[in-house]
């Protein structure tokens, strides 16, 4: 069986890492790993791949570029990927995508060409069509013949949209087994809870000065409330907009993007996170670290229901409810919505049926 995986951004390489490994180890599968090149920063270097035990991709399509707009990426990816498959005579039985980045936007074109698509992380819905990710995930889901969901809620979303249930397999979240590889070592030391981690990179926040300023205002208030340093991951697009819009970041300290292990260690030792990242509602749950989410909508509502995260309304003053959540969430959290850490095994078994 010939399997192609198509991956393009750092979080998706993380989430696919155990799937890659199982595909490579299966004697019945020829696995071709294609990197779209959507993310091209230094944290996708050899160190990153070594840390996560990811082998080098077979091909890199190099569609990324600082400031390159999504429609250029989509068009370039469509042409480059289909021509690669044809010219190299790869003849895949399945092409597997994960997530909702621009790299999955090629799925409809591949389906039109007769290729069978499988989508991991299927069925997530924020109901916010302003998000490029929402459009991407819907297109990929409805171009797929096999859909792997993280939770039964996502299975129900797909069924309501008319996708036959027999095409859907609920496998749990791929992040659990990845985080668990580091968890024992990281958790050998007691949680320090000695800082606040700020992680803001969604356009719905950084493109709007009043929202971006509001998030930093909230971060500074919480910093004062808990008398802790607050560090902010220095995403280039976010900090470009901070400079352009003259955002007052107060006493929040920018820090460089981290390796994955360092990121997990920081999550573990943080008092809490303020993050608009969808995936940052997942790893912190594994390490029982609370998360405040400055978004109007989330596709991970289970995180709210299980005390793993809390919606932060940035236009409201700090409330007793927010402070109570931060102080008590660690004891109340129930990360079982993420699954039991067997996703990669179930995915490979599902693709072979």
Q: Where are the domains of the chain?
A: 2-170, 182-337
What tens digit of pLDDT does each residue of 219-253 get?
999 999 999 999 999 998 899 999 999 999 999 99
Distance CA 41, CA 177 (A): 25
Per-residue pLDDT at 73: 81
What tens digit of pLDDT does each residue of 71-129 get?
888 889 999 999 999 999 999 999 999 999 989 999 999 999 999 999 999 999 999 88
Q: Do domains 2-170 and 182-337 have the same CATH topology?
A: yes
For residue 55, what pLDDT band results from cuts at 50, 70 and 90?
very high
pTM: 0.93
- The answer to whether residues 307 and 272 touch, using CB atoms and an 8 Å cutoff, is no
Per-residue pLDDT at 57: 93
> Tell me: domain 2-170, CATH 1.10.10.10, correct?
no
Which ranges constitute the DSSP H helices of 168-319? 175-186, 203-206, 209-226, 236-244, 260-269, 283-286, 301-305
Tell which CATH architecture fits domain 182-337: 3-Layer(aba) Sandwich (3.40)
Report which DSSP code applies to 234: -
Per-residue pLDDT at 39: 66
Residue 163 tokens, joined: 């996708």
For residue 9, what pLDDT band results from cuts at 50, 70 and 90?
confident
- What residue has token string 């799937």? 19
Percent of the chain at pLDDT above 90?
80
More confident residue, 53 or 111: 111
What tens digit of pLDDT does each residue of 245-275 get?
999 999 999 999 998 999 999 999 999 999 9
Q: How buried is residue 259: exposed, middle or buried, by Cβ count under 10 Å (0-12/13-18/19+)?
A: middle
């Amino acid at each position: 069986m010939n399997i192609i995986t198509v991956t393009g951004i750092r979080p998706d390489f993380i989430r696919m890492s155990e799937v890659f490994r199982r595909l490579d180890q299966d004697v019945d599968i020829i696995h071709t790993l294609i990197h779209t090149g959507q993310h091209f920063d230094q944290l996708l270097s050899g160190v990153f791949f070594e840390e996560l035990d990811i082998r080098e991709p077979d091909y890199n399509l190099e569609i990324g570029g600082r400031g390159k707009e999504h429609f250029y990426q989509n068009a370039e990816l469509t042409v480059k990927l289909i021509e690669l498959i044809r010219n190299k005579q790869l003849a895949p039985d399945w092409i597997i995508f994960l997530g909702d980045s621009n790299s999955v936007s090629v799925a409809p074109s591949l389906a039109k060409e007769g290729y069978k698509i499988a989508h991991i992380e299927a069925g997530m819905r924020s109901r916010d069509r302003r998000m490029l990710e929402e459009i991407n995930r819907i297109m990929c889901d409805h171009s797929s013949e096999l859909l792997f969901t993280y939770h039964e809620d996502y299975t129900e979303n797909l069924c309501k949209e008319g996708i036959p249930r027999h095409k859907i397999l609920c496998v749990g979240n791929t992040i659990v087994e990845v985080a668990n590889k580091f968890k024992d070592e990281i958790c050998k030391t007691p949680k320090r809870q000695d800082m606040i981690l700020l992680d803001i990179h969604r356009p719905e926040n950084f493109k709007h000065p009043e929202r971006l300023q509001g998030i930093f205002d909230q971060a500074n208030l919480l910093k004062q409330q808990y008398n802790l340093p607050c560090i902010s991951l220095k995403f280039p697009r976010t900090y470009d907009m901070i400079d352009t819009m003259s955002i007052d970041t107060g006493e929040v300290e920018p820090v460089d993007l981290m390796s994955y292990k360092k990121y997990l260690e920081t999550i573990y030792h943080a008092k809490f996170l303020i993050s608009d990242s969808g995936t940052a509602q997942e790893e912190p749950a594994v390490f029982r670290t609370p998360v405040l989410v400055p978004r109007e909508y989330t596709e991970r509502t289970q995180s709210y229901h299980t005390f793993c995260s809390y919606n932060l309304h940035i236009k409201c003053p700090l409330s007793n409810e927010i402070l109570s959540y931060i102080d008590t969430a660690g004891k109340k959290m129930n990360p079982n919505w993420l699954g039991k850490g067997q996703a990669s095994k179930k995915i490979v078994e599902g693709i072979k049926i």
